[in-house]
Amino acid sequence: MSKTAQSVWNNCLSFIQDNITPQAYKTWFEPIQAVKLTDCALSIQVPSKFFYEWLEEHYVKLLKVSLTRELGEKAKLVYVIKMENTYGNKLPFTEKIPSTQRSHMASQEVDVPIKNKSPELKNPFIIPGIRNVKIESQLNPNYNFENFLEGESNRLARSAGLAVANKPGGTSFNPLLIFGGVGLGKTHLAHAIGVEIKDKYPEKTVLYISAEKFTQQYIESVKKNNRNDFIHFYQIIDVLVVDDIQLLSGKAGTQDVFFHIFNHLHQNGKQVILTSDKAPVDMQDIEQRLLSRFKWGLSAELQHPDFETRVSIIKNKLYRDGVEMPEDIVEFLANNIKTNIRELEGALIAHSSFNKKDITLELAKKIVDNYVKNTKREVSIDYIQKVVSDYFQMDVDTLQSKTRKRHIVQARQIAMFFAKKFTKASLASIGSQIGSRDHATVLHACKTVDNLAATDKQFKKFVEDLNKKLTL
């Protein structure tokens, strides 16, 4: 029976499959197509230059053994690389490769490593070069679980992060989306998970990248005509951490390529960790198919730290810096800087400039005044509820109650409106803090306030008065 390219390659695949992990086989061999068989030379088509270089770097011996078994000692392997047009789409396969593209095709005996004829070809992450097997994680080892202190505000997210770190890709938290306002520790927690995974599983490839950097790389890959290389690079990552995923908003091309990368990683049991300043339900201009995937795993919110957590953060920071501070001053700082952790740490850095003096309560007040005066303060949901309740001459419990009396409902809706306007809290978080409502109720409240302010002069005055009180 005469051999065909497909039959030879199928036999090679059977041998290869027995000698590598199912994951590696699915990633690196399933996409290959047998093209033709001439004498002892088998031509195979691979998706990109990156793909062919990876095969030569990692599987050349396995390919040689499998092909020699089928075609004898004179066996040769011819790689045919799919071309891309300027838009990054695949062109139909053709054997007539333009002279300018001939470096994309390699033919020789399989036991001789292919010399890279395109030395300018780089790993899309810039560091390191594509030929370097080791991919730097870009993680900050200072952001670890040891100094990410647990409190009521972050318990769910921290626990989920530890579960993912212990079993990346093996929990139901895939993807793990960590969301919350500015300075609450999203980036810290994302790094901590990656650092822990690298410590427990040093063989895994972990990569941290901001959504902004990812977008820049994608645009560059389209310009340089190596979109497939970009995709294949990200498909080999075991744990992908993308910071500020909401920045993909409105970027259709980047969302599309991230969608395909996400699908590949998820289907192959790889872990995806995302951070965002918004819950998926609040993200604007993100494709529905992506949002639905963000909800496949767990969305965990980081909220403003409570007093006890703020005290613990200050003490931990002081201990790490080898600084002592009286208890009453620690409590003063924790009481006066409530909005986020970054502000707390900033105040402590400000304190260090006075380290030649004995820290006193008076000096601490001066530090806080100077620091907070130059820092944009974020209004809290509790404060908004108090201001709105006082304005309408009711207590906060009445504002949060289940009553359907019109003036109370409108006051509650106004509180929700300003909570959305002045805080980074998600709609779900606003609803839970203002009378245990859901995110749909908050969304309805915001629309109602907008509509009434445009049609009812008295109502418009309420909104304007409260806006002034909250921005003083």
Q: Which long-range contacts (CB under 8 A, 24 or more apart) does 196-199 make?
A: 196/144, 196/145, 196/162, 196/165, 196/166, 197/164, 197/165, 197/168, 197/239, 197/271, 198/137, 198/139
What span, in angstroms and rounded, lies between the C-alpha atoms of 387 and 418?
Answer: 11
**What pLDDT score was predicted for residue 168?**
92
- Greatest mean pLDDT among 265-269, 373-377, 413-417: 413-417
Contact 175, 296 (CB under 8 A): yes
The Cα–Cα gap between 165 and 161 comes to 6
Greater confidence (419 vs 327) lies with 419
The percent of residues in the chain predicted with pLDDT above 70, rounded, is 77
Tokens linked to 183: 């300075």
Task: Please state, for a pLDDT cut of 90, what percent of the chain lies above it.
Answer: 25
Domains detected in the chain: 5-109 (3.30.300.180), 155-302 (3.40.50.300), 307-373 (1.10.8.60), 381-471 (1.10.1750.10)
**For residue 307, what pLDDT is reported?**
77
Task: Give the model's pLDDT for residue 247.
Answer: 87
Helix, strand, coil share of the chain (percent; to 5): 55, 10, 35
> Which phi and psi angles does 74 have, rounded to 5°?
-90, 15
Q: Share the mean pLDDT of the chain.
A: 78
Tens-place pLDDT, residues 300-312 = 888 777 777 777 7
Is 70 exceeded by the pLDDT of residue 419? yes
Residue closest to 97 by CA, chosen among 112, 113, 111, 81? 81
| pLDDT above 50: residue 127 | no
Q: Band of the pLDDT at 243, cuts 50, 70, 90? A: very high
pLDDT tens, residue by residue, 64-102: 888 988 888 888 888 887 654 433 333 333 333 332 233
Per the model's pLDDT, the better-predicted residue between 113 and 216 turns out to be 216
Quick check: 9 pLDDT over 70? yes
Write out pLDDT tens, residues 321-374. 666 677 777 777 777 665 555 555 555 555 554 454 555 666 666 666 655 544
Q: Which residues are 44's β-sheet partners?
A: 34, 79
Give the residue, 122 or 331, on which the prediction is more confident.
Answer: 331
| Whether residue 448 has pLDDT greater than 80 | yes
- pLDDT (average), residues 449-463: 92
Q: What integer pLDDT is reported at residue 344 of this predicted model? A: 53
- The pLDDT, as a whole number, for residue 163 is 92
Q: Give the pLDDT score at 358.
A: 56
The segment with the largest mean pLDDT, out of 27-31, 126-130, 398-402, is 398-402
**If you average pLDDT over residues 207-216, what whole number do you get?**
90
pLDDT value of residue 338? 59
Least confident of 35-44, 149-158, 197-206: 149-158
Give the per-residue pLDDT at 461.
92
Contact 173, 160 (CB under 8 A): yes
Q: Is the pLDDT of residue 193 over 60?
A: yes
Query: Quick one: pLDDT at residue 284?
Result: 76
Q: What is the pLDDT of residue 445?
A: 94
More confident residue, 391 or 2: 391
Collapsing DSSP to helix, strand or coil, 110 comes out as coil
